[in-house]
Structure 1
Amino acid sequence: MELLTGLVGENFGAGPIPTALVAHDGEHFLGTAALIECDEETRPQYTPWIAALWVEPEHRQRGIGAALVDRASQLAFTIGAERVYLLTRERRLSFYEGLGWKVLEANAPELGLFILNRDRDD
């Protein structure tokens, strides 16, 4: 699996945020994740965020999602972030906790949603 960072479409500006990470095997799309300024408008003080993680169903359980999240985190740290955030539903909480993410806010901004964070030194 190769990870390619691409600037695609109107969601992307001149700086490192926002950035899309695309996992592919040759010409076969495997998954994607984004590094964005903010994923929760009620928490603008939290920045940057990893968002829109997606792995094609037939390629799940192969470490692709974990690799995308890790690469997006490392990109955030490389550009100077000390902490990075993400928003997930309860059913995906154990996946992120297994990658070392910590719950910052439970049931926020609504019941069943969790804001997680990971620090540079974690």
Structure 2
Amino acid sequence: MTDVLISNLAARPEFIGTVADRMWHAWWREAGEPLATLLGHLRAFRTDVIPLGVVAHRGDEFVGSAILIDSDVEERPQYTPWLAALWVEPAERMRGMGEALSQRIVDEAVALGFDRIHLCAVPEKSDYYARRGWIEVERGVGPHQLVIFVRHLGVSTETPDA
């Protein structure tokens, strides 16, 4: 993993098509959303405001990606921001890349002044996040019965579900 860099997606636009392809096939296609819409969203990403994305790469080879967005679950608009669309290429999995991408998004959220970050997972993937210190807030949300997690990014006196 030492030869892999994690860059801001807006600074490496040559990866936007690949990131869009992975996100579309994993999450957007089933929802009936056009790939062109996703490409438009990703092309609007910046380096210093939400939404933003990061891409893991070995030179020009795509390894993985993740994004930081305002909202990822329509049923929970009160939670913000979100780590979303975490993707690691199958050949690169089980090597810590998912954790590295997640941590980079957490670092971006901290840099933007947030004291917490959320993510959602389908129930069968929720143990992955729980084992990595994410705190379950609720379960069974929306049509996919999502599990919502939070991670506190600094000293906070608020409750985990706030």
What TM-score results when the alignment is normalised by the length of structure 2?
A: 0.70
Q: Percent identity?
A: 37
Equivalent residue, structure 2, for 1:50? 83
Supply the RMSD in Å over aligned alpha carbons: 1.7
Equivalent residue, structure 2, for 1:10? 40
SS of aligned partner of 2:101: helix
Q: For structure 1, which runs of at least 5 residues remain unmatched after alignment?
A: none
Deviation at 1:110, TM superposition (A): 4.2
Q: Distance in 2 between matches of 1:99 and 1:13?
A: 27
Equivalent residue, structure 1, for 2:60? 27
Contact 2:116/2:152, CA 8 A, preserved across alignment: yes
> Map of 1:1-122 to 2, 5 A cutoff?
1-7=4-10, 8=13, 9-11=39-41, 12-13=44-45, 16-110=49-143, 112-121=145-154
Deviation at 1:111, TM superposition (A): 5.8
Deviation at 1:10, TM superposition (A): 2.7
Q: Distance in 2 between matches of 1:94 and 1:80?
A: 28
Q: Distance in 2 between matches of 1:87 and 1:100?
A: 14
Q: Distance in 2 between matches of 1:21 and 1:59?
A: 16
Q: Distance in 2 between matches of 1:3 and 1:28?
A: 12
Moved more, 49-58 or 108-117: 108-117
Q: For structure 2, which runs of at least 5 residues remain unmatched after alignment?
A: 14-38, 156-162
Determine which structure has the larger helix proportion and give its number.
2
Q: Distance in 2 between matches of 1:107 and 1:41?
A: 14
Determine which structure has the larger strand proportion and give its number.
1
Q: Distance in 2 between matches of 1:80 and 1:69?
A: 17
1:62-82 deviation per Cα after TM superposition (whole angstroms, max 9, x unaligned): 111111111101111111111
Which amino acid letter does the alignment assign opposite residue 71 of structure 2? Answer: C
1:41-86 deviation per Cα after TM superposition (whole angstroms, max 9, x unaligned): 1211100001111111011001111111111011111111111001
